[in-house]
Amino acid sequence: MANAKAMALVRTAIRRGELAPAITKECMDCGTQAVEYDHRDYSKPLDVDPVCHSCNSKRGKAAGEHDHVIILPVVRVTKEQYDKLQAILEQKGITYSQWLRERIERAR
């Protein structure tokens, strides 16, 4: 399994409420607020660690195929802000990743 597929499965699990968003957790390596999930092995797509941006870059690449790299802007929000954002996105009928993608398109 390649990285994009594994990341898509993580996003699906978050949307279904099976996995809490990374920003609601602490970085597994340094204890600050986590901003993303890190895969150590893409063949285990839901075996992920919440990490901050700097620890994730220190960890290096996971095992498995790397078909492309997606760099998303890191948006630091509180849990309250995140919940508010989720409510707005729900009204619009779009997911958090779609919203991020739109922001990237607009920034280009």
Alpha-carbon distance 85 to 66, whole Å? 31
In sequence order, what are the beta bridge partners of 38? Answer: 49
CB 39 within 8 A of CB 22: no
* Residue closer to Zn ion (CB basis): 22 or 55: 55
* Residue closer to Zn ion (CB basis): 26 or 86: 26
Region of residue 103 (left: phi > 0; alpha: psi -120 to 50; beta: else):
alpha
Report the nearest approach of Zn ion to the CB of residue 51 (Å): 6
Site track for Zn ion across 21-60, x = CB under 5 A: ------x-xx---------------------x--x-----
Report the nearest approach of Zn ion to the CB of residue 27 (Å): 3
